[in-house]
Amino acid sequence: MIKIARIDGDGIGKEVTEAGVAVLESLDLNIDFVEAEAGRECFDKNGTTIPEETIRIARNAKATLFGAITSTPGEKSPIITLRQELDTYANLRPIKSFKGVDCLFDDLDFLIVRENTEGLYSGKERLEEDKAIAHRVITRKASERISRLAFQEAIKLNKESVTCVHKSNVLKKTDGVFKDSFYNVAKDYPQIKTIDYYVDATAMYLLTKPQEFDVIVTSNLFGDILSDASAGLVGGLGLAPSGNIGDKHGLFEPVHGSAPDIAGNNISNPIAMILSVSMMLEYLNEDYLASKVKTACENVLEKGKVLTPDLGGNAKTMDVANEVIKEIEKL
């Protein structure tokens, strides 16, 4: 029995999680889903965006599937809390072009590895009269472990290079540590080519020569921005999956939020979630099933017959999920 924590959240988080779970249930796996609450509805009901019970359920599960939540101003972010509590220090965001999807580039296949626990998202902010101060904490330990994971992913994916993205010309101390740590770890992976770029130049290269990237490793804020921008290069948020990985836990979620503008109509695109399910299967060492799920998504997109409105179709969320399930059965 594989215990999976299931956190649907708010808005389309519920719709896409239902779709992801349907795909998982169609596979020959013995999964026990444990439901847990988080987000805005949870706050309205319980007075907290993320109850202790939810953290406990996620801690006791083999992996967590997370839909999306609506933020509650002034309250704790459930997803940042979970990333910290589970110490999922790496955020993996594959950027891949799909055949049949109208996008800016049809030939991209790279991975962004974002540090998930510190940097400008350490939560160390304070107000002092008429100024506000945010601490940007970069430790050698976190920088080395994220670089190591990036090199390991490069090997696993058969990639030639890892690019370290930083701004060490201005953030000399903090990004100095980040960049030094990267080159320190690189010594253990002589077969992988190393590149380092400033973040501003990287933003331009993502538009002018994104094909050259294999694996990008970067700090929290830069990774957040560059990965959303990169998702835009290949067909948008409805297709962008992610995994949060640590030494003990894994949490998988689409990159998108709760999309209040379309929520409730069952027209949200479940592909980002289903691709996140594929990443979760890989994390659970079910590589064969992981690649089946991914290939099934690719086939559905390429055929182009059953697509949600964001991709120009008129299918419902569960129609797409069922089409993916049919494709899986054919493989």
Closer residue to ligand NAI (CB): 46 or 194? 46
37, 115, 153, 224: which one binds Mg ion (CB under 5 A): 224
Are 245 and 279 within 8 A, CB to CB? Answer: no
For residue 18, which amino acid is it? Answer: E
Task: At 39, list the tokens.
Answer: 């987000």
Closer residue to Mg ion (CB): 51 or 223? 223
Are 138 and 125 within 8 A, CB to CB? Answer: no
Q: Indicate the SS3 state at residue 316.
A: coil
Closer residue to ligand NAI (CB): 192 or 274? 274
- Report if residue 10 touches Mg ion, rule: CB under 5 A: no
Comparing CA positions, the residue from 192, 198, 257 lying closest to residue 9 is 257
**How far is it, in rounded angstroms, from Cα 302 to Cα 300?**
6
Q: Please give the C-alpha separations between residue 44 and each of 40, 169, 197, 260, in angstroms, as whole numbers.
A: 6, 45, 44, 16
259 binding partner (options ligand NAI, Mg ion, none; Cβ < 5 to 8 Å by kind): ligand NAI
- Asked about 283 being catalytic, the answer comes back as no
Are 230 and 112 within 8 A, CB to CB? Answer: yes
Question: What residue ranges bind ligand NAI (CB under 6 A)?
Answer: 12, 16, 68-71, 79, 237-238, 253, 256-262, 268-269, 272, 308, 310
Task: At 275, list the tokens.
Answer: 């691709």
Are 233 and 108 within 8 A, CB to CB? Answer: yes
Burial classification of residue 308, based on how many CB atoms lie within 10 Å of its CB (0-12 exposed, 13-18 middle, 19 or more buried): buried
Hey, what's the torsion of the CAs at 209, 217, 310, 298, to 10 degrees? 90
Catalytic residue among 121, 179, 294, 319: 121
**For Mg ion, which stretch binds (CB under 5 A), given 12-20, 50-58, 162-170, 222-230?**
222-230
- Asked about 228 being catalytic, the answer comes back as yes
257 binding partner (options ligand NAI, Mg ion, none; Cβ < 5 to 8 Å by kind): ligand NAI
Are 197 and 159 within 8 A, CB to CB? Answer: no
CB of 249 to ligand NAI, least distance (A): 16
68 binding partner (options ligand NAI, Mg ion, none; Cβ < 5 to 8 Å by kind): ligand NAI
Catalytic residue among 14, 89, 159, 167: 167
Catalytic residue among 109, 180, 228, 310: 228
CB of 80 to Mg ion, least distance (A): 11
**How far is it, in rounded angstroms, from Cα 105 to Cα 9?**
32
Closer residue to Mg ion (CB): 75 or 228? 228
268 binding partner (options Mg ion, ligand NAI, none; Cβ < 5 to 8 Å by kind): ligand NAI
CB of 174 to Mg ion, least distance (A): 21
Catalytic residue among 8, 10, 175, 224: 224
Closer residue to ligand NAI (CB): 85 or 286? 85
CB of 270 to ligand NAI, least distance (A): 7
Closer residue to Mg ion (CB): 180 or 228? 228
Comparing CA positions, the residue from 23, 113, 50, 88 lying closest to residue 295 is 23
**How far is it, in rounded angstroms, from Cα 182 to Cα 146?**
9
Are 83 and 146 within 8 A, CB to CB? Answer: no
**How far is it, in rounded angstroms, from Cα 205 to Cα 16?**
32
Closer residue to ligand NAI (CB): 70 or 84? 70
Residues 168-207 that bind Mg ion (CB under 5 A): none
- Asked about 224 being catalytic, the answer comes back as yes
CB of 231 to Mg ion, least distance (A): 9
Catalytic residue among 32, 44, 106, 200: 200
Q: What residues act catalytically?
A: 121, 167, 200, 224, 228
Residues of this chain that bind Mg ion (CB under 5 A): 224, 228
